[in-house]
Every structure is written in C-alpha cells, then in structure tokens.
C-alpha cells in the first residue's frame, strides 16, 4: 500500500484544513450549537461551495468520484474543527446509501441538491431495545396497492431535526429494506435532541406513513447488503474525524504546557508531563496510521476490509480515551469547562467510539474472525 498522498489529495488537504482554520473557530462552533438547528448553515454552504458535499458521488451523478483517501482527508480536517454540521449524516451515511443502492432516477433527483447544500438527509436506522450497532430493525413496511405503509420509531437519528428526507430501514417479508421518506409526510413526527457531544440527534416516529413504490431503495430485502458497505465506509470516516479531533487536542495541550507557568517556569518543562505528552503523541500517530489503513482498505476484498476497519475503530477508541483523559488532566479544571475546547473534543471522541460499534464491539468482531491477519497467526 502507498501511504503517500498524491498532488491532488495534498491540495485537497491544504484547502480543507485552511478553510476550517480560517472560518470555523471554537467561538463559531459554540454559536452554532446555540442555534435552533444546532449547526451553522453558513459553514455548511461553505462546504458546498468548495465541492465537498459532492466529493464521494460518481461524476455521472454530479459528484467528483472521490474515494476513501479523499474522504479521510476531509473528515480529519472537519474533526480538527469539531464541526457539527451534517456532513457525516447527509454525505457519508445517507449519501452512502444512495451511492450503493439508489436508482439512477433517485440519484438524479437527490444528489445535485445534496451537492448544492440545499437538501439535508438523515439515516433513520437505530431503534430502542436493539443492540447499538446492528442491521436489524423492528419498524415494519407493509405493502399497499401503490406503495408501502411504514410504522415504527427510530432513535438517535443524526441531524434528524433538520432533515428534509429520511432514509428509513424497515422490515418487509423479504427482509430489511430501505425507503426514502419526506420529513414533512403525514404521520412523521420528529423530536429534536442533542447528544452529549452537542451534535443534534432526533427521535423519529412513523405512524402509518405512506410512501410510493418509487421510494424503495434497491429491492425489497436488500437493506443489509446496502448498509454493510455504507457502515464500513462511515466507520473509516469516523476514524479519520477522530484523528483530527485528537490532533487538535494534542496541539492545544502542548501550547498550554508551553504557556502555563508554575514555580516561575512553564509546566511543559516538567519531565513527568513531557512523558505523558509523548504517550499522547504515540497514540495519535498509531491512530493516524490506522486511519490511513482503513481508508486504503475500502478498495480491497470484503473480508480483509472489515478486519482492517474494525482494527482501526478499536484503536481510536483506545487512543481517543487516553488522549482525552491526559489533555483534561494536564489542563486541570479548565479542561472540563464548557468554554474550553478540550472538554468538547473529549466528548466528541467518546461519541465517536460509541458510533457504529464501540471498541469492545469491534474487538469481539476481530476475535470471531481470528484476528486481523489470521493466516499469519
């Protein structure tokens, strides 16, 4: 595997990193969190103007055909800024479903609006009482004469309150299936909330919601086949976001150690704190390597891909906790205040660990598969 970025990827990295640094400081994030949506439409429009909302979609659908490495570059930059805009919810999760399962007509109707920043999508899949990361669902889709009727309740829908369209998973006689549901459809009720990391989430209730046959994504019973690769790509994206959040946390902590004075000297001169900072750097670099591996693995065979992505997710779960804890402890009480970036980064890293299977879930998955490279064992 070639771990070096090519010239176009380097340009993308420089552009996105500069955009986040210059336009999205911590104060703007705080302001965005206090708005009704819980995110900044101005910042999201900036992502659209740069073409980032179109990045992973095929060129024939109006996108740029970006792959895993390009997504890694973008998500790491967004992670550095702790951006709360619906990029992951719309482009990575719901957008991934469109890329892997939607018809040509469905993509033509939706993708250009996503790319322009005019349409927000959200994947409504999680349900109360089911494992946190599962392909199962209790929501039911019943066939009618000219379409389907959906009944169920979804929880923890990322950016659900702002969504114009939901991608809803539901059980049909053939198995798990996916449907496009207008957020304003009769029978849809959305209750907005906030996750402990500040990211907007929602509970979505569907009571006798009627959708036409054209709302079905792919064919009936194809939901698991569509969601499996989507979740793997989304996990790789989350790993990259975590690396960005860890890198920012590390840099902020090092700057603090250089400026905080005690006994007349900077506390960064204390050997014990230097050792702890080195441990943070080691965890960061381990995570960055695993993020690269996850991004590059999206193009290899399915079995080894799933192993590599699980290994990467397990690593950032461990590293995020270590870096977050060390940063908070070395900052002292200020590290957990709402006005300081470090505490928010730690919360986001904790949320990322929980999303799409936490460290324990992915380690158990690797045990079932007899390790990352069982042939070499």
Digitized pLDDT (tens) for each residue of the chain, 377 residues in all: 556 889 999 999 999 999 999 999 999 999 999 999 999 999 999 999 999 999 999 999 999 999 999 999 999 999 999 999 999 999 999 999 999 999 999 999 999 999 999 999 999 999 999 987 899 999 999 999 899 999 999 999 999 999 999 999 999 999 999 999 999 999 999 999 999 999 999 999 999 999 999 999 999 999 999 999 999 999 999 999 999 999 999 999 999 999 987 888 888 889 999 999 999 999 999 999 999 999 999 999 999 999 999 999 999 999 999 999 999 999 987 878 878 899 999 999 999 999 999 999 999 999 999 899 887 65
Instruction: Calculate ∠ Cα 124-63-107, nearest 5°.
Output: 50
Residue 188 in tokens:
């849809």
Burial 252-291 (b: 16+ CB within 10 A, else e): bbbebbeebeeeeeebbeeeebeebbeebeebbeebbebb
CB-hemisphere CA count at 13 Å for 244?
Answer: 26
Task: Locate 226 and state its tokens.
Answer: 């569509």
- The residues facing 188 across adjacent strands are 206
What pTM does this model have?
A: 0.95
Q: Are 166 and 119 in contact (CB under 8 A)?
A: no
Strand partners, 190: 204
The angle formed by the CA atoms of residues 117, 121 and 126, to the nearest 5 degrees, is 150
What's the confidence (pLDDT) of residue 374? 82
Residue ranges and CATH numbers for the domains of the chain are: 7-118 (1.10.540.10), 122-218 (2.40.110.10), 224-376 (1.20.140.10)
* Cα separations in angstroms, 11 against 6, 310, 330: 9, 29, 35
Q: What is the pLDDT of residue 110?
A: 98
Sequence-ordered list of residues with C-beta below 8 angstroms from that of 340, at least 6 positions apart, any chain: 331, 334
């Amino acid at each position: 595997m070639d771990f070096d970025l090519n010239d176009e990827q380097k340009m993308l990295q420089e552009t996105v990193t500069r955009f986040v640094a210059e336009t999205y400081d911590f104060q703007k994030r705080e302001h965005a969190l206090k708005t009704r949506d819980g995110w900044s439409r101005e910042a999201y429009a900036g992502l659209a103007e740069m073409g980032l909302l179109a990045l992973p979609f095929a060129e024939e659908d109006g996108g740029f055909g970006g792959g895993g490495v390009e997504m890694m570059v973008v998500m790491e930059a967004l992670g550095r800024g702790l951006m709360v805009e619906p990029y992951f919810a719309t482009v990575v999760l719901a957008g991934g479903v469109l890329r892997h399962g939607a018809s040509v007509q469905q993509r033509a109707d939706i993708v250009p609006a996503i790319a322009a920043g005019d349409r927000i999508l959200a994947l409504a899949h999680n349900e109360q009482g089911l494992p946190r990361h599962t392909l199962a669902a209790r929501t039911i889709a019943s066939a009618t004469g000219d379409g389907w009727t959906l009944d169920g309740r979804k929880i923890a829908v990322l950016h659900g309150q702002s969504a114009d369209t939901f991608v809803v998973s539901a059980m049909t006689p053939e198995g798990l299936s996916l449907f496009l549901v207008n957020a304003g459809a009769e029978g849809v009720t959305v209750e907005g909330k906030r996750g402990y990391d500040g990211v907007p989430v929602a509970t979505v209730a569907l009571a006798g919601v009627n959708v036409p046959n054209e709302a079905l994504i792919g064919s009936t019973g194809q939901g698991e086949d569509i969601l499996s690769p989507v979740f793997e790509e989304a996990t790789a994206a989350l790993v990259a976001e975590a690396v960005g959040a860890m890198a920012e946390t590390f840099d902020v902590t090092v700057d603090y150690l250089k400026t905080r004075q005690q006994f007349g000297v900077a506390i960064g001169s204390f050997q014990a704190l230097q050792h702890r900072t080195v441990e943070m750097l080691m965890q960061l670099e381990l995570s960055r390597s695993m993020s690269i591996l996850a991004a590059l693995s999206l193009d290899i065979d399915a079995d080894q891909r799933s192993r590599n992505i699980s290994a990467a997710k397990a690593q950032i779960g461990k590293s995020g906790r270590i870096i977050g804890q060390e940063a908070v402890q070395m900052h002292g009480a200020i590290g957990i205040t709402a006005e300081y970036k470090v505490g928010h980064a730690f919360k986001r890293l904790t949320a990322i660990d929980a999303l799409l299977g936490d460290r324990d879930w992915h380690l158990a998955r690797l045990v079932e598969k007899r390790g990352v490279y069982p042939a070499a064992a």
